[in-house]
């Protein structure tokens, strides 16, 4: 199934509407579609190297708009007034990601905010899981959008720059090592940020034990599926 979807996505690189397919793919991948837009972005850039950065911008625009829609799904369409998961939430839990993974992401938002969105946007993590969870757990929308623009922009424009700079020979390298390099880059970036906080921040605030948060209460509501209003 995934292989057929992969080949179908690649087939759009030969169409005059490839740029539109890239926008739609990036839009959908941010909220529900399983295939990342990178594969079509690479194919389009290789077919028209001088337009690489234009394709990256199109991909970024689609991804950010899709992220905002994913946030809206989580914020407005995930929980019924009685505190139960909606039909949309049930569909996602059955076909897109697990309840456990979703709840774990919600807990991470309390601790990391910007950095968890950045990590999801730049690395191979399922971005849709974080966009929807961001809406449900009511993280700051402006911060969410800024983190998404920075992370997705870096991801797509790095790919475009590599192809613009090195051409077709870089494709095999991207296919083989991009996920590893993206993960390593993000780990180093977050590590340096944590070091800066440790050096210049308030150590007492960093080490303090957090109290029970709204996010934790919401996770408990989802797990128990009781009738308590959110």
Q: pLDDT by residue (tens digit) across 4-30?
A: 766 777 788 888 899 999 999 999 999
- Measured CA to CA, the distance from residue 20 to residue 93 in angstroms comes to 29
Tell me what pLDDT residue 82 has: 87
Q: Is residue 229 part of a domain?
A: no
Position 64 confidence tier, pLDDT thresholds 50, 70, 90? very high
Alpha-carbon distances, residue 112 vs 52, 116, 139 (angstroms)? 33, 6, 11
Position 51 confidence tier, pLDDT thresholds 50, 70, 90? very high
In the chain, the DSSP E strands lie at none
Position 31 confidence tier, pLDDT thresholds 50, 70, 90? confident
Alpha-carbon distances, residue 11 vs 32, 42, 156 (angstroms)? 20, 12, 20
Q: Is residue 35 part of a domain?
A: yes
User: Could you tell me which residue, 9 or 208, shows the higher pLDDT?
Assistant: 9
- Measured CA to CA, the distance from residue 92 to residue 6 in angstroms comes to 20
Position 208 confidence tier, pLDDT thresholds 50, 70, 90? very low
Q: Is residue 70 part of a domain?
A: yes
Residue-wise DSSP of 20-35:
HHHHHHHHHHTTT-SS
- What does the DSSP 8-state code read for residue 86? -
Tell me what pLDDT residue 116 has: 84
Stretch 123-151: mean pLDDT, rounded? 90
Position 198 confidence tier, pLDDT thresholds 50, 70, 90? low
Tell me what pLDDT residue 212 has: 45
Q: Is residue 47 part of a domain?
A: yes
Q: Are 137 and 106 in contact (CB under 8 A)?
A: yes
Asked whether residue 226 carries a pLDDT value surpassing 50, the answer given is: no
Structural domain that includes position 25? 17-224
Asked whether residue 223 carries a pLDDT value surpassing 60, the answer given is: no
Q: Is residue 56 part of a domain?
A: yes
Q: Is residue 3 part of a domain?
A: no
- Measured CA to CA, the distance from residue 59 to residue 73 in angstroms comes to 21
Stretch 46-74: mean pLDDT, rounded? 95
Stretch 205-216: mean pLDDT, rounded? 41
SS3 content of the chain, % helix, strand, coil (to 5): 75, 0, 20
Total domains in the chain come to 1
Q: Is residue 86 part of a domain?
A: yes
Q: Is residue 96 part of a domain?
A: yes
Dihedral sign for Cα atoms in the order 52, 54, 59, 64: positive
Which tens digit of pLDDT belongs to each residue from 88-115?
A: 999 888 877 778 878 788 778 877 778 8
What's the whole-model pTM score?
0.73
Tell me what pLDDT residue 145 has: 96
């Amino acid at each position: 199934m995934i292989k057929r979807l992969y080949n179908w996505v690649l087939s759009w690189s030969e169409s005059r509407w490839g740029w539109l397919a890239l926008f739609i793919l990036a839009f959908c991948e941010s909220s529900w579609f399983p295939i990342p837009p990178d594969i079509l972005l690479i194919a389009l850039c290789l077919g028209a190297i001088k337009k690489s950065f234009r394709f990256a911008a199109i991909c970024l625009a689609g991804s950010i708009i899709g992220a905002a829609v994913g946030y809206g799904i989580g914020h407005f369409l995930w929980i019924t007034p009685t505190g139960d998961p909606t039909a949309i939430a049930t569909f996602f839990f059955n076909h897109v990601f697990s309840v456990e993974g979703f709840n774990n992401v919600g807990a991470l938002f309390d601790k990391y905010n910007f950095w968890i969105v950045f990590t999801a946007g730049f690395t191979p993590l399922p971005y849709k899981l974080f966009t929807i969870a961001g809406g449900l757990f009511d993280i700051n929308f402006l911060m969410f959008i800024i983190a998404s623009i920075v992370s997705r922009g870096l991801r797509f424009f790095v790919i475009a720059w590599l192809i613009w700079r090195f051409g077709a020979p870089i494709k095999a390298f991207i296919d083989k090592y991009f996920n590893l390099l993206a993960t390593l880059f993000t780990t180093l970036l977050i590590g340096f940020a944590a070091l800066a906080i440790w050096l210049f921040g308030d150590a007492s605030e960093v080490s303090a034990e957090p109290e029970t948060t709204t996010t934790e209460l919401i996770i408990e509501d989802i797990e128990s599926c009781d009738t308590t209003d959110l």
